Structure 1
């Protein structure tokens, strides 16, 4: 049985790694939902901005339509450049602007996915088995495997005899 860090609260033992893992799962799940909604909202704002920019030239007052697009761009996190849109150059939001706004949102979403996975691992810490190779060597310079082969694999008896001899010397 593995030893786990526990805390006694009102006569009941609480496993601390599970408690911490549960809180991290809750927080990361909520933040993952928030990051998803933020990315979808930004996507919709940019799509709305693209339709606004493409409609500047068909509007009766292009300057008024441009100011509306600037406000929508501010809401989406995109700066609408005056020379690009008013001089007849660009008729839509460039893809570079789109990805400049979307990449931090996607990175934030992926970050919370990783935090959620780590939180699940912390929650499952008691069930997690990490294989560790253990080597035991004597300080006298003779490897433990060589002593086992000399004893015929009966190293437990030899250890018990050494313990008894040390106790009798005291």
Structure 2
């Protein structure tokens, strides 16, 4: 695969960091390298400057996709267009993302909502009351702790389901 190609590294790694517009061969480079190793069925990729950008844009894409799915073919209402610029419903979303205790998604303002590692990342930062679950902590070696790990999975899944119920009741 041509991802190690010097030109591809310059194109995919340095271009976003430098803010330079990609060259005219960019689509062909993506097709011949990144899309060749993309999961089956994926026909598009987006390159980002860093992990923060990746997480921020993934969250944004989730919300936009979901709201478009809810809205269907309807366009934005005038009320949505005027209320969104004032951070008001119905133009902005009251949706939430669930994250996990111990999760680190970076230190940008938006990703801090889903980061739950060190107090230094959160102190004095306004955030959202979004659900925070417990990710299973398995014992190793896995084959020696099958029963314990299955119980841990059930416990964490029950907690996640309870969080979904609680947050759905709050809308």
Smaller-chain TM-score bracket: under 0.3
- Greater helix content: 1
Whose relative contact order is higher, 1 or 2, with alpha carbons under 8 Å and at least 6 apart? 1
- The two structures have a TM-score, normalised by structure 1, of 0.21
- The two structures have a TM-score, normalised by structure 2, of 0.21
